[in-house]
Structure 1
Amino acid sequence: MFKVGFSTLGCPDYGVHQVAELARDSGYDGVELRFIRGVVDLAGLEEFSPARISETRKVFDDAGIAVNCIDTSVRFTSTDSAERAAQRELAKINCEIANGLGARYLRVFGGPIPKGSEPVDHAAPIAEGLGDVAEETWAQGVQTLLETHDDFSTSDKVSLILDQSSDRLGVLWDFLHSWRHGEPIDRTYANLRERIRQVHAKDSSFADADGFDLVLTGTGIAPLGELAATLITGGFDGYVDFEWEKAWHPEIEEPEVAIPHFRTAFATIVAKQWA
């Protein structure tokens, strides 16, 4: 059975202790780290320095909360050698943070491509860059996960990268993005299940290829019940993480509301699949 976590994208101004306490008090199993104290570059915070990382890990350990993934913006849409080297270095630094916290995964992106072009025309250099990162992090005990996002949201588009990249590269399935681009949930899972290690879940009152909004879990149209049924039937045992994009959309509900709400609402949705 899968475990349940949330991304700190949903509580961007929280410190480490606040994140751990919110997760513990709301009944979560783990967290993905994206923002801490309003900062997206975790490497720039003292809490994640080599001198302090063990102290930070203890905060989560003492709360009984796993850090399951470090979320980065690493991508290889640029063909500039200096930029690609910088992206590899960014992945290396975040892999060290992941190791220090006991996180198994590092999230990366395929990235948006220039308008008017096709994903197939950009997949090879992206696959090469992500493959290099995947091999490097794997050697350090961390698996790199490509999120279904941007112009690589559906399984056919993601496969353009996977088929030309390292076998070490896994997938973080953000189901809303694949679904809103017209791909049925069972098809995405069937096509990517061997690579899927984590899942992002959220609800929306409208969602199509041009955009989406965010609403409290269970109040929108996103087929979360179908997602839960697919994961249960498929024997998925990784993390399903709530991604409440508070950092990008400050007008949505506060983390104190949305994050506990997801844990309760999603548990109800899951329970209905067992009834």
Structure 2
Amino acid sequence: MKVHYNRRSFLKQTAIGITTLGIPYPLSVFAREKYKLSFSTLGCPKWSFKEIVDFAAKHNYQGIEIRGIQGEMDLTKCPAFSKENIKNSIKLVKNSGLEIVGLGSSAKMHIKEEVLRKKNLDEAKQFIDLANQLGCKAVRVFPDKLPATSSRQETMDLISAGLAELGNYAQGGKVKILLESHGDLVYADDIRSVLNHVDHKNVALIWDVFNMWVKTKESPANVYAKLKPYIQHVHLKDGMLNNGKIKYVLFGTGEGPALEAVKLLDQSGYKGFYSFEWEKAWHPEIDEPEVAFPHFVKQMRG
């Protein structure tokens, strides 16, 4: 009987065989298995969906996090996910050995004004529907700068209420609503307060390590101790601070504590994705994805 192995199975079987024979082997033999890596499409704003998938597969990523394609941030309007093309797009991802690990919406949870709030919640619900079609298990939402016209607690309650509404909407499928640590909601105690208040099985957290550290300087150990139960997904990036301004740099070459956070997560048995968020779409001056994406893999596999 002929047995077929994909690359991942081959590496695993090779590593097991080498270990059984007592032969030393480099860590890279199953480094691919150690961490599940993805990148956000913010890092490649000019690429087509096929270019995104092909590059991820070629450079040893296991997933892609979709935050816009070729400048279109509303994924429900992207040609790759149209009624005519969505099945072929799903097939392309599957045949490449990849997973769509999350859809990044632009839905803001801190909005108070009724019409605009409904618009943001409706966008998130459309992304949940699309995620269910794609077999994707997560939709990202976020808070931004909290308004000065309301008390902090009032705005945090609004965020909790929005998350609960979306969690209820998602209950019929497998999609989780992931709040990204972002904007003014970056202190661990505040985030814990919001998620405690929601207390919904369909609501969890994206821990953006750099977003939090750059504003709060809280250590990853302190953050992780408070937020561990909620962390479903991790965003990684790096940068240098100069007079309060951030200059994004290749992963592992800046001042951020991302590698410390990875060590904590690894030691505690975290099994989710580490997603590289290279914000090329917002900062066109930073390195091209052809440089930054392979560098991230090299750093994480090293």
Output the TM-score relative to the length of structure 1: 0.91
Provide the rounded CA distance (Å) in 2 between the counterparts of 1:174 and 1:234: 18
Aligned to 1:176: 210
Point out where structure 1 has 5 or more consecutive residues left out of the alignment. 269-275
How far off its partner does 1:154 sit? 2.1
Instruction: Indicate whether 1:241 and 2:280 are aligned.
Output: no
Aligned to 1:273: none
Provide the rounded CA distance (Å) in 1 between the counterparts of 2:183 and 2:242: 14
Aligned to 1:137: 170
Q: Do the aligned residues in 2 keep the contact of 1:53 with 1:97 (CA within 8 Å)?
A: no
What are the equivalent positions in structure 2 for 1:18-57 lying under 5 Å apart?
18-57=51-90
Higher relative contact order (CA 8 A, sep 6+): 1
How far off its partner does 1:224 sit? 2.7
How far off its partner does 1:178 sit? 1.7
Aligned to 1:191: 226
How far off its partner does 1:7 sit? 0.3
Please list the CA deviations of residues 122-150 of structure 1 after superposition, one character each: whole Å capped at 9, or x if unmatched.
11122101210122123221000000111
Aligned to 1:232: 266
What are the equivalent positions in structure 2 for 1:203-218 lying under 5 Å apart?
203-206=238-241, 211-218=245-252
Provide the rounded CA distance (Å) in 2 between the counterparts of 1:113 and 1:225: 29
Q: Do the aligned residues in 2 keep the contact of 1:217 with 1:266 (CA within 8 Å)?
A: no
Provide the rounded CA distance (Å) in 1 between the counterparts of 2:258 and 2:113: 40
How far off its partner does 1:118 sit? 5.2
Identity percentage of aligned residues: 33
Aligned to 1:258: 292
Point out where structure 2 has 5 or more consecutive residues left out of the alignment. 1-33
Q: Do the aligned residues in 1 keep the contact of 2:109 with 2:141 (CA within 8 Å)?
A: no
Instruction: Indicate whether 1:122 and 2:159 are aligned.
Output: no
The structure with the largest alpha-carbon Rg is: 2
Please list the CA deviations of residues 39-63 of structure 1 after superposition, one character each: whole Å capped at 9, or x if unmatched.
1111112221233211111111111
Provide the rounded CA distance (Å) in 2 between the counterparts of 1:171 and 1:201: 14
Aligned to 1:8: 41
Q: Do the aligned residues in 2 keep the contact of 1:2 with 1:236 (CA within 8 Å)?
A: no
Please list the CA deviations of residues 194-229 of structure 1 after superposition, one character each: whole Å capped at 9, or x if unmatched.
110000001112289x55221011211212321121
Provide the rounded CA distance (Å) in 2 between the counterparts of 1:242 and 1:45: 22
Structure 1 pair 229/52, CA: closer, same or farther in 2 (3 Å)?
A: same
Aligned to 1:148: 181
Aligned to 1:99: 132
Which one is further off, 121-130 or 248-257?
121-130
Q: Do the aligned residues in 1 keep the contact of 2:209 with 2:257 (CA within 8 Å)?
A: no
How far off its partner does 1:192 sit? 1.0
Aligned residues: 267
Q: Do the aligned residues in 2 keep the contact of 1:14 with 1:38 (CA within 8 Å)?
A: no
* One of 188, 200, 208 as aligned partner of 2:235: 200
Structure 1 pair 17/266, CA: closer, same or farther in 2 (3 Å)?
A: same
Which one is further off, 115-124 or 35-44?
115-124
